[in-house]
Structure 1
Amino acid sequence: MAPKRPQLNSEELAQLKWLLGGLLVLLSAVTVLYMEIDAWTLTAVTAAAVALVIARPTLPARVPSWVHRLAFPAIVIFFAGDLYLTKEVLPPIVRLDILLLLYRGISYRKRRDDLQIIVLGLFLIVVAGVLTVSLAFAAQILAFTACALGFLLVITLTEVPPAGDRTMAAAVAPADGPPAWAVHAHWGRLLRRVREVLDWRVVALGSLLFMGVVAVSALLFLAIPRFQLENSLFLERFMTKKARTGFSDSIKFGDVTDIQQDNSVAVSVDVSDPTRIPAEPYWRMVVLDDYREGSFRISPALRLETFSAERSDAQLRGIARARRGESVYWTFYLEAGVSRYLPLLGTFEMLRFRERQNFRFADRLGLVALRDEPVSMTAYRVEGMTQAGVLPDPGLANRLGLAAEAGAAEMPQLRLQLTEPDRAVLARVVAEIRGGRESGADEFGVKASAWLAARHRYSLQSRVPAGAGDSLVRWLDSREPGHCELFAGALVLLAREAGYPARIVTGFKGGSWNGFSNNFTLRNSDAHAWCEVFDPATASWRRVDPTPGAVAAGAEQTGPAAGQTARVDRSWSARLDSLRVFWYRRIVNFDQRTQEETLKAVKTATQETGRRLRQALERGVARLKAWLASPWDLARAGRWLAVLAALGGVAWLGWRFRPAMWRLFHGRHARREDPVRRKAGRWLARLRGVEADPAVVADLQRLRYGAPAGWPEPAAVWRKARRAARRRANVER
């Protein structure tokens, strides 16, 4: 009978449990990276402390007992204060969970405490899964699941000590000072022991089963209907999040500059016909018409006149008319934290969300504003969208005429709340731009843009000269470089001084084409600001982009030429972004077309594989029939009878001598490779010729030659052997 495989003793199991528990805490804590919750400092402290006690398991024994008595009251007080100060629910709960994980991760644990780590970590995993659609999180949840399963296995094994092991109590529940397993912990030695005792066949089988479960889960994920999990758990209501600076109801100069320094993805766009993408697209998000105290904002009048009452719906019909031919679909994946305003090229026929949303629609402005800033990726599909540098507004001309006749106060699009010296500067610059003759709004926009470009160069590092008066007027009258907001704001002031209504529009300009996932990508570095100047002659708003290098209104191009001008991104970051887009395409579902295509592809691949197997089997059967039907003579029959007799003889010999072959190829190999027997043999060789304790020699001989069932505890025998070797060295000295 073959000897039993070596097993981990109680100390080694306790060390393995400590290691897996710490890794599980680390995997759980880093989920904060996906949640956009202010817990970075707490997460860093947790990661550092847990990593330290993993490396030095004796450190928790140095913590005074009064710290443990005060830990949970302090955590409760921290949680209550967090709730009171933040006025939120979910972020304090997440920080409370991390605090509990920190305490459990740096304290010696019982079985109940180990199970609490799994539950606390699972809560963070679920919350992160609701609030993110990151592809990296999919890999993390697989790692968490594998680690949790291994942790549960070790917890179960530590409940039942190995045969002959009398050290379980000391290994699990220390009284004073660190436990024995912590004192003897050596992670390199533990990993070698784990490698020695592992049955790799069982590991391979378990890995195959785990991958099978993952594959079946993925197929079910593709097959079942989609639903939005955060809407079911209402987590979005328990968490508020500020949009990135530069995209809100009010912006100050420099906000867009901060965003342009961020190269992360803001929006990914799938388009059914890439030739319809303009050569230089302008993605409108916010229109700001009221300027006061050095900042632009949406005026109350514009908000009241243009934005409809808030509604809750999953679709929105626009004002654009349907066109002939096949419709073009634009699918937007708006990342969390960009804005509650949706980027759009212009007017559209239909806009669909993947679930019901609360929003307001400004049809004349071509803007859609959600009630709250989304805390997770927001997807929407637009049909029949067109970009135009000209936005008709026939009602504004009538309102301007009526306001002038009634002697009413200036409209927000014309208002200049500036001091007399600042107005004098603007009047002087407008006269210089016009050159002594009147011009239309379109011509004035071109001349004013050229005047600004001649005096200022474009730069993200801008500086407004010091002095009295309005900061934007001071920059306009200087020769300092500036960013897009300064150029746009300056042109708005000049146009209003010239008598033309003007406003700022912020959003994105341009973008890049991902050559791997074939989608259009907008990054935060593409954030931009430009102007819209009202032309009374055409009763429309005309886009004017005074930033050097911009495209003039009406110069948009579509078609193959436009597609060739778009920058194709084939960098490594584009590869990673393509994985993100692939993930989005699988989880976002506006209809059943994507699911049907995926299932159809799986069905086709399965049928094709089955067809090839049937053809191979039919060919094999045909060859066998042809071989049997070929002529048989005495020589051919004799050869095949000899082959069959030889195969039968080999099979009979293998069956007859199977016990001897088992002992030859398995028993001796197992004994020769057993690490405990090898170590016992080395100690016997070292103690040969020494007057050692006969009991020590007897224990070593039992480990070397005896059956594993009667072995003493190897660790205790090694300690006795080391003491005997030290006594021998002292005698020799």
Structure 2
Amino acid sequence: MAEPTSPLLSPSARHWTLASAALGLVPLLLQLPDLLAAIIALVAVLIALVSRQRVLPAPLRLLLVLGMLAAIYWQMGARPGRDTGCALLAAMLALKSSELRSLRDARSLLGFALFSPFAAFLLDQGPSTMALAVLAALTALLTLQRLAQAEGQAPTPPLGGQIRGVGRLIALGLPLALAGFWLFPRLSEPLWGIPERAVGKPGLSDQMEPGQWLDLMADDSPALRVQFFGPVPTPQQRYWRGPVMTYFDGRVWEQDRSALGRAPPEVTHGATRWDYQIDYEPTDRRQLVALDLPMQAPPGSELGADHSLRSQASLTALTRWRLQSAPATGYVEDLSPYQRRRALQLPQGFNPRTATLAHQWRSEAGNDDEAIVRRAMAWIRARFAYTLSTPLPGRDGVDEFLFDQQAGFCQHFSSAFVVLMRNAGIPARVVTGFAGGTRNRYGDYWVVRRMDAHAWAEVWLPGRGWVRVDPTAAVAPERIYDTLEDRLQVGGDATLESRWAQLGQASDWLRRGWNDLVLSFNATRQQQLLRPFGVDKLEPAQLIGVFTLFALVALGWMAWLLARGERERAPLLRAWHRMGQRYARLGLARDHAEPAGHWARRVHQQRPDPALLSLSSRFVLARYAGADVDLTSLLRDLRRHRPSSGASP
């Protein structure tokens, strides 16, 4: 038996379907590379316009699929990842409208489109993505409701009535969803890992190579937010220590992997202590930062021999870390022969002019390492400039920077300084991380942005140990120590720039609130959910019990709401039944299978009432004959009608 064909879409239904699919596509496109997102959006619009009259031929659709795959490969390469899969989903959704003809096609497109906003959560879990996803889901429900009415050939109610219908659906499932989010027991460790991204976000790495940081230093999105509990470090102390680079091949600096598995050397900390909490934005990597120097590794991380922190799991989502740091006043032990060799390592045959200058300074300074450091800093302060516009270095990049260009940014300064020190026989290394931070006046916390990425140097000085030296700060202290808050105080609160900055701070404060309420709600916070009520910690069995209780309440709410909706599905029928109940109390109840007109005539014989006969006729015409009856007046009359007081004949 042939399957019945699905009704064709009306122009209005087609427009609603395409608009809903577009809204579902938007949050996903915003997380993809800009050029790829623009290509997918353009293809989606063109296909929707071209396929209005007829379905695109199969060869053309196949060609479009191949073109989309080529665009994704061009932008992301052949490496699989979360964003690659999301890009494929977006591309297929953009092509799906080429088959949009019938109600079945529309439902298929909407079901496919609902995957899109929720796939976007794999790439970003911020409030803007959430708002767009909710908007897309609500619009899809509205459209599905209109498609159901079109299929049943029912009149389309006003938009307000449609919105109320969608609101009832949301009220049906929201309590159970909230109970699942807040109370369903969470695992401290996920059962499976999330695939990495094919196109990584700019962030700190265990390598530093020329030109690598230009994208990072142009990105003003937050890298971390910091809440201090007690004293706040001064700008000169706000160095957020990340990966430490020791090995140099003449072009690329790399972290000493062996340092990750060794305990840090014992140091003497100063009297100053900083207690703080870091909310670290996802990077899909494992590198963490802390103020110089972290005193111990927080749970879930490791502290290496170079005092750099590393997470035990990839930072695929927002994470929160509680740390304590204190500056070091000295190192208890001297460098071992192995550590000294690592801190003096240089490739053979590179940067001869730098080596010559360093040897000259060593011969003039004798054993005074601090004099060489001071001389290098004075030279840099007097002769060098800060700029992001620098050409990529050649083979002897340090020579080119020190003697030819004498202008660059932190990568150039830190790398050249360490090479110069090593040539002079002073153990040195490059430290990467962030510098500075901006205080949010609304939330009283500090925001460190990706563009605050910084690299500086550390040199080993006898009797002192590792000492931070920042040649970039000697050239451009405003790049390191100046903050947005300082500029606002100089510019005044009336400038357009300051007002825009205040709006940005308010937006970030809201984002932090979202992070605190939703994204950082982990297993530990869930176990402490009832602490305000005197329950210190909920064990897993207790959580299951509380969740079961709330889930049963939510299911009861769903059952009551469904029953109420069933009762209220036909207001006309409900009004007719209520009128019949008034006659039932007089012993004139309608039989179960008795037609409305037959019952009215039977009642009229016993209690003459022409109004009842008229009402039953109007009810039958409206309910079963589909006649054009004034439903408003009919409902009013049914609700007002009362049995006549006339006696039976």
Give the secondary-structure state (helix, strand or coil) at the position aligned to 1:307.
helix
1:132 to 114, 124, 129: 124
Unmatched 5+ stretches in structure 2? 1-6, 490-497, 534-624, 630-649
1:416 to 346, 349, 357: 346
1:580 to 493, 500, 511: 511
Give the secondary-structure state (helix, strand or coil) at the position aligned to 1:255.
coil
* Residue aligning to 2:20: 24
* Residue aligning to 1:364: 305
**Cα deviations by residue, 1:375-417 (Å, 9 ceiling, x for unpaired):** x3331312322344x6737251x426xx9xxxxxx81311232
Question: For residues 134 and 486 of structure 1, do their structure 2 counterparts lie closer, same or farther at Cα, with a shift above 3 Å needed?
Answer: same
* Residue aligning to 2:194: 236
Is residue 399 from structure 1 mapped to residue 337 from structure 2 by the alignment?
Answer: yes
Name the amino acid aligned to 1:377: A
**Cα deviations by residue, 1:642-691 (Å, 9 ceiling, x for unpaired):** xxxxxxxxxxxxxxxxxxxxxxxxxxxxxxxxxxxxxxxxxxxxxxxxxx
For 1:68-87, what aligned pairs fall within 5 Å after superposition?
Answer: 70=62, 86-87=78-79
Name the amino acid aligned to 2:326: T
Name the amino acid aligned to 2:283: A
Give the secondary-structure state (helix, strand or coil) at the position aligned to 2:364.
coil
Name the amino acid aligned to 2:342: P
Query: In structure 1, what is the Cα distance between the partners aligned to 2:484 and 2:502?
Result: 19
Q: Report if aligned partners of 1:24, 1:118 keep a CA contact under 8 Å in 2.
A: yes
**Cα deviations by residue, 1:215-234 (Å, 9 ceiling, x for unpaired):** 857964774367479935x4
For 1:484-563, what aligned pairs fall within 5 Å after superposition?
Answer: 484-538=410-464, 540-549=465-474
* Residue aligning to 2:634: none
1:330 to 277, 280, 285: 277
Query: In structure 2, what is the Cα distance between the partners aligned to 1:286 and 1:148?
Result: 46
Question: For residues 317 and 28 of structure 1, do their structure 2 counterparts lie closer, same or farther at Cα, with a shift above 3 Å needed?
Answer: farther
Is residue 386 from structure 1 mapped to residue 319 from structure 2 by the alignment?
Answer: no
Q: Report if aligned partners of 2:344, 2:428 keep a CA contact under 8 Å in 1.
A: yes
* Residue aligning to 1:296: 253
**How far did residue 343 of structure 1 move?**
1.1
**How far did residue 543 of structure 1 move?**
0.6
**How far did residue 296 of structure 1 move?**
1.5
**How far did residue 470 of structure 1 move?**
1.3
**How far did residue 214 of structure 1 move?**
9.3
Name the amino acid aligned to 1:47: A
Query: In structure 2, what is the Cα distance between the partners aligned to 1:229 and 1:42?
Result: 36
Q: Report if aligned partners of 2:294, 2:326 keep a CA contact under 8 Å in 1.
A: yes
For 1:269-308, what aligned pairs fall within 5 Å after superposition?
Answer: 269-273=226-230, 275=232, 279-298=236-255, 302-304=256-258, 306-308=259-261
**Cα deviations by residue, 1:328-372 (Å, 9 ceiling, x for unpaired):** 3413222335x531011134455446xxx6x6x343312223467
Name the amino acid aligned to 1:128: A
**How far did residue 424 of structure 1 move?**
5.1
Q: Report if aligned partners of 1:330, 1:381 keep a CA contact under 8 Å in 2.
A: yes
**How far did residue 64 of structure 1 move?**
4.9
Query: In structure 2, what is the Cα distance between the partners aligned to 1:457 and 1:284?
Result: 24
Is residue 451 from structure 1 mapped to residue 379 from structure 2 by the alignment?
Answer: yes
Is residue 342 from structure 1 mapped to residue 288 from structure 2 by the alignment?
Answer: yes
**How far did residue 123 of structure 1 move?**
2.4
Higher CA-based Rg: 1
Q: Give the root-mean-square deviation of aligned CA atoms.
A: 4.7
Question: For residues 511 and 709 of structure 1, do their structure 2 counterparts lie closer, same or farther at Cα, with a shift above 3 Å needed?
Answer: same
Q: Report if aligned partners of 2:47, 2:95 keep a CA contact under 8 Å in 1.
A: no
**Cα deviations by residue, 1:485-530 (Å, 9 ceiling, x for unpaired):** 2111221122112211001111101111111222211112111110
Question: For residues 585 and 218 of structure 1, do their structure 2 counterparts lie closer, same or farther at Cα, with a shift above 3 Å needed?
Answer: farther
Query: In structure 2, what is the Cα distance between the partners aligned to 1:102 and 1:275?
Result: 50
**How far did residue 152 of structure 1 move?**
1.2
Question: For residues 285 and 322 of structure 1, do their structure 2 counterparts lie closer, same or farther at Cα, with a shift above 3 Å needed?
Answer: closer
Name the amino acid aligned to 1:236: I
Query: In structure 2, what is the Cα distance between the partners aligned to 1:210 and 1:100?
Result: 29
Q: What is the TM-score with the length of structure 2 in the denominator?
A: 0.67
1:460 to 354, 371, 388: 388
Is residue 97 from structure 1 mapped to residue 50 from structure 2 by the alignment?
Answer: no
Give the secondary-structure state (helix, strand or coil) at the position aligned to 1:592.
helix
1:436 to 364, 367, 374: 364
Q: Report if aligned partners of 1:320, 1:348 keep a CA contact under 8 Å in 2.
A: no
Q: What is the TM-score with the length of structure 1 in the denominator?
A: 0.60
Query: In structure 1, what is the Cα distance between the partners aligned to 2:63 and 2:146?
Result: 27
**How far did residue 285 of structure 1 move?**
1.0
For 1:169-318, what aligned pairs fall within 5 Å after superposition?
Answer: 198=158, 200=160, 202=161, 205-206=164-165, 209=168, 220=179, 223-224=182-183, 227=186, 231-232=190-191, 234=192, 236-237=194-195, 239-242=197-200, 244=202, 247-273=204-230, 275=232, 279-298=236-255, 302-304=256-258, 306-308=259-261
**How far did residue 481 of structure 1 move?**
1.4
Query: In structure 2, what is the Cα distance between the partners aligned to 1:463 and 1:377?
Result: 35
**How far did residue 158 of structure 1 move?**
1.7
Give the secondary-structure state (helix, strand or coil) at the position aligned to 1:242.
coil
1:481 to 390, 394, 407: 407
Query: In structure 2, what is the Cα distance between the partners aligned to 1:80 and 1:514?
Result: 39
Query: In structure 1, what is the Cα distance between the partners aligned to 2:407 and 2:130?
Result: 45
Q: Report if aligned partners of 2:292, 2:326 keep a CA contact under 8 Å in 1.
A: yes
* Residue aligning to 2:562: none
Give the secondary-structure state (helix, strand or coil) at the position aligned to 1:380.
strand
Question: For residues 435 and 33 of structure 1, do their structure 2 counterparts lie closer, same or farther at Cα, with a shift above 3 Å needed?
Answer: farther
Question: For residues 596 and 123 of structure 1, do their structure 2 counterparts lie closer, same or farther at Cα, with a shift above 3 Å needed?
Answer: same
Give the secondary-structure state (helix, strand or coil) at the position aligned to 1:491.
helix
For 1:599-618, what aligned pairs fall within 5 Å after superposition?
Answer: none
Q: Report if aligned partners of 2:265, 2:305 keep a CA contact under 8 Å in 1.
A: no
* Residue aligning to 2:147: 155
Question: For residues 563 and 443 of structure 1, do their structure 2 counterparts lie closer, same or farther at Cα, with a shift above 3 Å needed?
Answer: farther
Q: Answer 1 or 2: higher relative contact order, Cα 8 Å, separation at least 6.
A: 1
Give the secondary-structure state (helix, strand or coil) at the position aligned to 2:111.
helix
**How far did residue 133 of structure 1 move?**
1.9
Name the amino acid aligned to 1:369: R
Q: Report if aligned partners of 1:459, 1:482 keep a CA contact under 8 Å in 2.
A: yes
Q: Report if aligned partners of 2:21, 2:113 keep a CA contact under 8 Å in 1.
A: yes
Q: Report if aligned partners of 1:514, 1:574 keep a CA contact under 8 Å in 2.
A: yes
Structure 1 segments, 4+ long, off by >6 Å, are: 71-82, 316-327, 562-569, 597-600
**Cα deviations by residue, 1:546-568 (Å, 9 ceiling, x for unpaired):** 1144899xxx99xxxx9998989
Question: For residues 53 and 303 of structure 1, do their structure 2 counterparts lie closer, same or farther at Cα, with a shift above 3 Å needed?
Answer: closer
Number of residue-to-residue matches in the alignment? 517
Query: In structure 1, what is the Cα distance between the partners aligned to 2:110 and 2:187?
Result: 25
Give the secondary-structure state (helix, strand or coil) at the position aligned to 2:114.
helix
Name the amino acid aligned to 2:202: R
* Residue aligning to 1:620: none
**How far did residue 240 of structure 1 move?**
4.8
For 1:28-67, what aligned pairs fall within 5 Å after superposition?
Answer: 28-33=24-29, 35=31, 43-52=37-46, 56=49, 59-62=51-54, 64-67=56-59
Query: In structure 1, what is the Cα distance between the partners aligned to 2:368 and 2:452?
Result: 31
